[in-house]
């Protein structure tokens, strides 16, 4: 958090040339209607291969809708969404959104294709606060939902009458050639809409998590990197490993309705937090590092001190078991190296063709 705030303070003032816009949550009531308008060709996709949308991008796309080419029901929806999302004030401002709902279902999990858990009548509500500070925006939206107590995919506090979680909490600095984001929000890297599945690398299937996201470039060509810390897991010896997930992608959006994206992902793990953090290069070519790391670790020999060499030479004349014992004792002086895992692939989207490939190691 301190690193993200420091980067926000060090952002050159001349690079900031626009007012920041918050993200439209994937759970917002207008998202199904917006995806329908995109699929029907009524509006252009504000950000292909990327969700969520920025609010100002959605409003700009809705402003371009021609009332003569849409049905009466669609035009009514367009006007309703536009009136709800349009910002009527400039400069520092604040907005509060309060929501409440009730639902009934025969299962507790969010995904209807993997229905499990007991059915209940549930109650939910949220209070969202958005603060506008010119090139920066701060958003927080805590919510309560009684369904979380029975959801097997939710690992937060469940032993209370009302379960809740921070659905969104982030700070985002935006300028013409990039964005710096830190916090939690549901993201999806891949073709959006109800017709397609979620992204292979980054998807909104898990509940929102804290992450740092950096984007450099324009709307037509940009590079984006994401890093987050995962839960620690024990290794074969029972000692905890600190794990981090890193993802990059390079996206090109030429004129027209086609978008190209190349992406890769890496999981870095190590016993020592310092050794794992030292491998968190957000803009490094992690695929080549993953291939080269095992060879480098394998070819590195333990370098013994003079006293250890002397002890080793004396042990060579003794029993064989003693020599093995001294050799293993010297080898244990080398700190454990972080391990790597990687995945890469590509995706292309157009009005008629959707294809993707993933190779994991």
pLDDT at 148: 85
pLDDT at 207: 87
- Radius of gyration of the CA atoms of the chain, in A: 25
pLDDT at 346: 54
pLDDT at 344: 53
- In 3D, which of 120, 118, 121, 138 has the Cα closest to residue 129? 138
pTM over the 0.75 mark:
no
pLDDT at 161: 72
Residue segments in the chain with a per-residue pLDDT below the cut of 70: 1-17, 192-197, 273-361
pLDDT at 193: 59
First to last CA, the chain: 31
Q: What is the pLDDT of residues 131-189, one digit of tens each?
A: 999 999 999 999 988 888 888 888 877 777 778 888 999 999 999 999 999 999 999 99
- In 3D, which of 156, 329, 161 has the Cα closest to residue 231? 156
Secondary structure (H, E, C), the chain:
CHHHHHHHHCCCHHHCCCCCCCECCCCCCCHHHHHHHHHCCCCCCCCCCCECCEHHHHHHHHHCCCCCCCCHHHHHHHHHHHHHHCCCCCCCEEEEEEEEEEEEECCCCCCHHHCCCCCEEEEEEEEEEEEEECCEEEEEEEEEEHHHHCCCCCCCCCCCCCCEEEEEEEEEEEECCEEEEEEECCCECCCCCCCCCCCCCCCCCCCCCEEEEEEEECCCEEEEEEEEECCCEECCCCCEEEEEEEEEEEEECCCCCCEEEEEEEEEEEECCHHHHHCCCCCCCCHHHHHHHHHHHHHHCCCCCCHHHHHHHHHHHCCCHHHHHHHHHHHHCCCCCCCEEEEEEEEEEECCCCEEEEEEEC
């Amino acid at each position: 958090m301190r690193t993200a705030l420091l980067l926000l303070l060090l952002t050159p003032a001349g690079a900031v040339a626009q007012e920041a816009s918050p993200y439209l949550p994937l759970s917002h009531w207008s998202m199904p209607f917006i995806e329908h308008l995109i699929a029907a060709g009524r509006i252009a996709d504000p950000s292909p291969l990327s969700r969520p949308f920025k609010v100002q991008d959605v409003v700009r796309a809705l402003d371009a809708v021609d009332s003569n080419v849409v049905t009466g029901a669609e035009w009514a929806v367009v006007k309703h969404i536009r009136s709800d999302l349009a910002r009527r004030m400039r400069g520092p401002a604040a907005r509060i959104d309060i929501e409440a709902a009730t639902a009934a279902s025969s299962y507790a999990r969010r995904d209807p294709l993997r229905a499990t858990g007991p059915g209940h009548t549930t109650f939910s509500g949220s209070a969202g606060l958005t603060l506008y500070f010119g090139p920066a925006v701060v958003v927080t939206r805590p919510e309560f939902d009684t369904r979380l107590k029975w959801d097997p995919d939710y690992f937060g506090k469940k032993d209370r009458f009302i379960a809740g979680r921070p659905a969104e909490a982030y700070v985002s600095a935006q300028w013409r050639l990039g964005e710096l984001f830190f916090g939690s929000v549901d993201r999806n890297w891949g073709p959006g809409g109800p017709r397609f599945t979620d992204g292979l690398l980054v998807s909104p299937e898990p509940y929102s998590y804290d992450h740092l996201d950096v984007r450099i470039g324009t709307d037509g060509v940009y590079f984006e990197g994401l890093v987050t810390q995962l839960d620690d897991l024990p290794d074969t010896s029972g000692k905890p490993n600190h794990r981090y997930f890193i993802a990059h992608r390079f996206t090109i959006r030429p004129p027209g309705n086609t978008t190209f994206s190349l992406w890769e992902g890496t999981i870095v793990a190590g016993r020592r937090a310092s050794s794992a953090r030292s491998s968190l290069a957000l803009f490094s070519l992690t695929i080549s590092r993953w291939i080269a790391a095992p060879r480098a670790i394998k070819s590195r020999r333990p370098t013994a001190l003079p006293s250890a060499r002397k002890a080793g030479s004396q042990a060579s004349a003794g029993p064989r078991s003693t020599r093995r014992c001294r050799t293993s004792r010297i080898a244990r002086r080398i700190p454990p190296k972080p391990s790597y895992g990687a995945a890469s692939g590509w995706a292309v989207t157009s009005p008629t063709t959707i294809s993707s490939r993933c190779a994991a190691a």
